[in-house]
Chain A
């Protein structure tokens, strides 16, 4: 029905040229175009979204991922390949609940855990039940979806922070239940359940890492396709509408409460399926696998990728898991060390301007270090007698530069407190003072790193990982592929 051609255009004002065209349709509409023309890092995600159609993105991802086992050794395939796929699946499930329907569910990881434990009970040595995957997996997926439905019931009444608290309670209760309650040895208590059967394809057991990887990859691809279609259907649109404005959605003929429960159940089903795969691949589950840090990591996957974007979840999972495994304690400290010094150099490059001031800081830090090291060793040999934790080329340079006393526990604590004081002072001063003060601050952070964190790789991993997340999210609050969200204009 093209009947609008006869409507006259809004007449332009005679003084139009002299005024900013605020409020004029064309001006407002051009905002998006101008934003698209903006270059740089911020535009990359938008370009990918606009230029590469979804099926091509899927093809690229599938092709790249499928060749991974051909050149990666088994151990790497496990931590980099399979774990990334698991995170993708978890992110996709959470994306339905948080990204589409906008329901802040902090009990999500418990659904993942429920799926894993339930599969472990149905297919392991634990009770001697060995149901084939074709039976146990559908049962687990459906029961997890049902549990998700139950968990979603408070969302009929609660939204936002309130829903988050109630669901968080559920998540914590699950861990306690599995660990402490352990009725009739159901969950194995703190020991968890071991000797879980691998998944099988109609009787053919998937034992090697390659088989498992390709199997999970196939599932990821199928779910990506399904979710893409679902997202572009009446249900997907209704979910997003309810995220944007539940009241308007209700007034526009959408049964909001039912849609919320559907989102919860659907996301839970995916979490349950992931649990089955995870338990089968790991062959053992304990409650620690489903605790708060995992929840935070899944949220990081979804938020980092850009909430509501399927491509975003995939990219987010790759970035998060790869950087997290890169910092693993089993890896030599040089990874973490490299990242630490790299981050400091990057921060300085970004924060200190102009160039000559940057040169002063870099030079100052180096000179300051060698001088301080020399002075300290002249005063007392033992002040610099501590050994540098081995790892990478940087360690050799660090030995003559950073002060590491022989027994340095107390020293490390003092240095840590001094660093905090210095950083706080740094925020209060301006100009030259700031530049000068940056030099000891950077040096002291290196000292603290070498005397405390490097020796506790597990702690350092989380701290660096957290710092990385803070950094990435500050640079791109909407996620790598997300569009900037607008609440009210």
Chain B
């Protein structure tokens, strides 16, 4: 049953908070090179799935396989080092650090120099510093003019809302992940910025080589980018497939609009 093909696979994943079941024997998978969207009404358990995958929550039962390896029980930083990086719906940047430092900090997991090496600027520390700096420039350059130039040395709290979302993505990219979990990347963006973001997510896969698993409410974005769409409601997977299949699915329409809305 262990198909090596899936990059990420959730098997019978269950999570309850007291009496509330937020993930109910959930089975889903993401293949390498795919862009998969997770949709569902508010409270459907989408962010919970991300929290479970990134290790912030422990599931009650079930397995989370990443490249065939069960990552349940690993601390979040280990999971990130294995190659799963995420952004936060509520934006959790390091506000009082500069834009570039935000990205450089995320390279912690794949650098090795010790405190002593850093204090004395020994060769490995110097080399890693150069590499991280170049890495940060490269990741920030992915966003075109948005995050380049003079903004590198600005405190993150000076950024506009849209740029904060971009910086969150850049920061996640700096951990050198294989799988990017984007939690509502278009929330709070205006139509022009949303269009730009849709293009960006495509480029993340095509140019960056990342597999993307994205939670999104904006159906234009979902339609524009998704190879596959998974719909959740009350912690249960109610539909899966191409955007058109899921968008016309009765249970999905019912979940979003109620029974009367089917028309």
- B163 at interface by CB-CB < 8 Å: yes
Partner of B96, one of A27, A229, A485: A485
- A361 at interface by CB-CB < 8 Å: no
Q: A4-B141, A251-B56 are in contact. Are A238 and B96 (CB under 8 A)?
A: no
- A260 at interface by CB-CB < 8 Å: no
Residue ID in chain B nearest A238 by CB atoms: B108
Q: Are B96 and A244 in contact (CB under 8 A)?
A: yes
Task: Tell me which of A28-36, A311-319, A347-355, A411-419 binds B.
Answer: A28-36
Write the B84-105 contact mask toward A (1 if CB under 8 angstroms, else 0): 0110100011111100011011
- A234 at interface by CB-CB < 8 Å: yes
Inside 8 A of A233's CB, which chain B residues have their CB? Answer: 113, 115, 118-119, 125, 129
- A399 at interface by CB-CB < 8 Å: no
Partner of B110, one of A7, A244, A253, A483: A253
Inside 8 A of B143's CB, which chain A residues have their CB? Answer: 4
Task: Tell me which of B39-47, B75-83, B215-223 binds A.
Answer: B75-83
Q: Are A28 and B108 in contact (CB under 8 A)?
A: no
Q: Are B97 and A253 in contact (CB under 8 A)?
A: no
Inside 8 A of A27's CB, which chain B residues have their CB? Answer: 160
Q: Are B105 and A238 in contact (CB under 8 A)?
A: yes
Residue ID in chain A nearest B195 by CB atoms: A8
Partner of A237, one of B85, B101, B148, B158: B101
Q: Are A235 and B115 in contact (CB under 8 A)?
A: yes
Partner of A29, one of B107, B108, B151: B151
Alpha-carbon separation in the docked complex, A262 to B161 (Å):
34
Q: Are A1 and B141 in contact (CB under 8 A)?
A: yes
- A366 at interface by CB-CB < 8 Å: no
Alpha-carbon separation in the docked complex, A487 to B94 (Å):
10
Q: Are B142 and A4 in contact (CB under 8 A)?
A: yes
Partner of B77, one of A32, A236, A255, A486: A255
Q: A234-B108, A234-B128, A486-B96 are in contact. Are A3 and B146 (CB under 8 A)?
A: no
Q: Are A248 and B92 in contact (CB under 8 A)?
A: yes
- B254 at interface by CB-CB < 8 Å: no
Q: Are A251 and B76 in contact (CB under 8 A)?
A: yes
Alpha-carbon separation in the docked complex, A485 to B97 (Å):
10
- B3 at interface by CB-CB < 8 Å: no
Alpha-carbon separation in the docked complex, A28 to B154 (Å):
11
Interface range on chain B: under 10, 10 to 19, 20 to 34, or 35 or more?
A: 35 or more
- A24 at interface by CB-CB < 8 Å: yes
Q: How many A-B residue pairs have CB under 8 A?
A: 170
Name the distance in Å between B202's Cβ and chain A's nearest Cβ.
12
Alpha-carbon separation in the docked complex, A3 to B113 (Å):
31
Name the distance in Å between A74's Cβ and chain B's nearest Cβ.
34
Residue ID in chain A nearest B104 by CB atoms: A237
For B105, B148, B155, which residue has the most chain A Cβ atoms within 10 angstroms?
B105
Q: Are A1 and B138 in contact (CB under 8 A)?
A: yes
Alpha-carbon separation in the docked complex, A77 to B101 (Å):
41
Q: A4-B145, A250-B77 are in contact. Are A234 and B151 (CB under 8 A)?
A: no
Write the A470-489 contact mask toward B (1 if CB under 8 angstroms, else 0): 00000000000001011111
Chain A residues packing against B (C-beta within 8 Å) = 1-11, 23-25, 27-29, 31-32, 226-227, 229-230, 232-238, 240-241, 244-245, 247-256, 262, 266, 483, 485-489
7 interchain residue pairs of minimum CB distance: A4-B144, A253-B109, A233-B118, A248-B92, A244-B94, A253-B80, A486-B157
Q: 27 A-B residue contacts at CB 8 Å?
A: A1-B141, A4-B144, A10-B190, A23-B160, A23-B161, A29-B151, A29-B159, A29-B160, A229-B118, A234-B111, A237-B105, A238-B108, A240-B97, A244-B93, A244-B96, A248-B88, A248-B93, A249-B94, A251-B76, A251-B92, A252-B80, A253-B77, A253-B175, A255-B75, A266-B115, A486-B155, A489-B95
